[in-house]
């Protein structure tokens, strides 16, 4: 009995010292992890509501960045196309001037056009033309255009500065057959003719449009996947909340039944040496309820020494000497009495 009285000293049990412990955390782990965990719990509703806004902002930023990138790419394509036209017109005018000084024939001019057309970055959609002083086309490639013999300034509408200033007008946008073209005109020496290089804008931006189409498709697919994930997330969150509510209601009903019946529920994990007590068990013994698992020693410490030993009982169960527990023992109440 002296030993029992010593156990009954105030503050002597592990249960009375559990106020200094967190649920499953102790020491430095509690100091480091618990504040962050509490902040996370407090911020969880805000984070849940902010997820749709974050996804929308993410998609808008991605779309804006990709749009700017595509527009820069379009400017580069346009700049390269204009540079090719300007160089081709200048080279063609220079070659015509040299050929004229050598007394070339119209057939030689057509061959010159074909040769320049095959050089550099000239594509099938590019058109090269040589005109006389009245801007009447005397040679053109490809000949399938049917422009030979027609006036270039009548074909290319809106390009009057080209025929007045030549190279100084740069590359301009003109209308040919109801379509938008880029055109560059270079006047030959003595203004006895001109060389022109033209290309449809549709041909210039054909590859770029395919890139835009691919990017739009990928963006739509990405947005669709994120929307599906968002829908699944909120669906799962709603089901989790419903499950938590059902669990809490069932748990409260069980606790109420246990409290009114003056019963306590034990869940004994012998492998890990841990026990879970219902809140009614804490209430019967006057201790502060705790959601954490109790250790073997904490429970054994408040059992009367004359009423059995949990360690011995566990060993008998493990050895299969018994297959159920029917044990009567006294436990130390928080106020020191035996229950």
Q: What is the average pLDDT across 170-180?
A: 92
Same domain, 73 and 161: yes
What is the extent of the structural domain holding 220?
205-260
Cut 0.75: pTM above it: no
pLDDT at 19 over 70: no
In a domain, 28, yes or no: no
Same domain, 80 and 131: yes
Same domain, 236 and 285: no
Confidence band (pLDDT; 50, 70, 90) for 76?
very high
> SS in 3 state form for the chain?
CHHHHHHCCCCCCCCCCHHHCECCECHHHHHHHHHHHHHHHHHHHHHHHHHHHHHHHHHHHHHHHHHHHHHHHHHHHHHHHHHHHHHHHHHHHHHHHHHHHCCCCHHHHHHHHHHHHHCCCCCCCCEEEEEECCCEEEEEECHHHCCCCCEHHHHCECCHHHHHHHHHHCCEEEEECCEEEEEEEEECHHHCEEEEEEEEHHHHCHHHHHHHHHHHHHHHHHHHHHHHHHHHHHHHHHHHHHHHHHHHHHHHHHHHHHHHCCCCCEEEECCCCEEEECHHHHHHHCCCCCCCCEEHHHHHHCECHHHCCHHHHHHHHHCCCCCCCCCCCCEECCCCCEC
Same domain, 249 and 286: no
Same domain, 91 and 165: yes
Structural domains in the chain (count): 3
Domain CATH code at residue 128:
3.30.450.20
In a domain, 100, yes or no: yes
The predicted pLDDT at position 172 comes to 93
Same domain, 191 and 290: no
Residue of higher predicted confidence among 50 and 31: 50
pLDDT at 6 over 60: no
């Amino acid at each position: 009995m002296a030993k029992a009285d010593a156990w009954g000293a105030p503050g002597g049990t592990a249960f009375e010292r559990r106020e200094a412990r967190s649920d499953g955390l102790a020491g430095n782990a509690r100091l480091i992890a618990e504040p962050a965990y509490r902040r996370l719990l407090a911020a969880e509703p805000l984070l849940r509501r902010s997820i749709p806004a974050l996804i929308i902002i993410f998609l808008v930023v991605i779309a804006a960045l990709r749009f700017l990138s595509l527009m820069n790419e379009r400017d580069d394509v346009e700049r390269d196309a204009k540079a090719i036209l300007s160089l081709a017109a200048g080279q063609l005018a220079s070659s015509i001037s040299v050929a004229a000084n050598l007394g070339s024939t119209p057939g030689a001019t057509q061959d010159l056009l074909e040769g320049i057309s095959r050089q550099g970055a000239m594509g099938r959609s590019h058109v090269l033309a040589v005109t006389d002083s009245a801007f009447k086309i005397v040679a053109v490639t490809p000949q399938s255009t049917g422009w030979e013999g027609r006036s270039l300034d009548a074909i290319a509408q809106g390009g009057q500065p080209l025929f007045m200033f030549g190279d100084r007008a740069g590359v301009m946008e003109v209308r040919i057959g109801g379509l938008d073209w880029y055109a560059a005109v270079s006047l030959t020496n003595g203004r006895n003719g001109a060389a022109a290089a033209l290309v449809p804008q549709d041909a210039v931006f054909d590859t770029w449009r395919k890139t835009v189409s691919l990017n739009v498709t990928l963006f739509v697919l990405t947005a669709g996947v994120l929307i599906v994930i968002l829908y699944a997330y909120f669906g799962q969150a709603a089901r989790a909340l419903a499950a938590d509510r059902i669990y809490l209601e069932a748990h409260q009903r069980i606790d109420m039944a246990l409290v009114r019946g003056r019963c306590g529920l034990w869940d004994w994990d012998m492998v890990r040496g841990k026990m879970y007590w219902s809140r009614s068990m804490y209430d019967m013994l006057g201790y502060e309820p705790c959601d954490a698992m109790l250790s073997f020693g904490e429970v054994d410490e408040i059992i009367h020494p004359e009423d059995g030993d949990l360690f011995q009982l566990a060993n008998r169960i493990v050895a299969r000497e018994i297959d159920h527990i029917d044990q009567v023992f006294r436990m130390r109440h928080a106020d020191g009495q035996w229950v």
